[in-house]
Amino acid sequence: MAARKRLATLLSAGALLVGAGLGLGAAASAADAPGDARVDRAAALGCAYGSVCGQGSNGHSFSYSKCGTRYQLPDLTGSGPLNNNQTRGTVAKFYGKSGNLLFTSTAPATGTVNWTPVWFAVAC
């Protein structure tokens, strides 16, 4: 099985993203990161085809699929999985409390995110 490239990105807000298909909305540094456990945890998050899903370490989770809708996340805190299981190439966007773009996820993608600074999501 071919090794998957993992992108670890430290956002200026302090969020750590690990996974393929995750991009930045703010200036940050990037490096390759090991971590099969992190990617496997994200892949294990059930997410219907056509949806983007996530879960905080506090157990709160979301599953969104309607385009053009800005969703307020359900009090996600800590590190947890992100699974963008939408149609290939569909971009989900994630925003901070003040509406600043924190990162994007281009489907298909899985990864681990620090959800604490993330307040809003737009599925597509």
Rounded to two decimals, the pTM is 0.70
H helices of 52-115, where? Answer: none
pLDDT (tens digit, 9 = 90+) per residue, 43-81?
Answer: 568 999 999 999 999 999 999 999 999 999 999 999 999
Of 30-34, 63-67, 96-100, 104-108, the least confident: 30-34
Long-range CB contact pairs, 33-37, < 8 A, 24+: 33/6, 33/7, 33/8, 34/6, 35/6, 35/8, 35/112
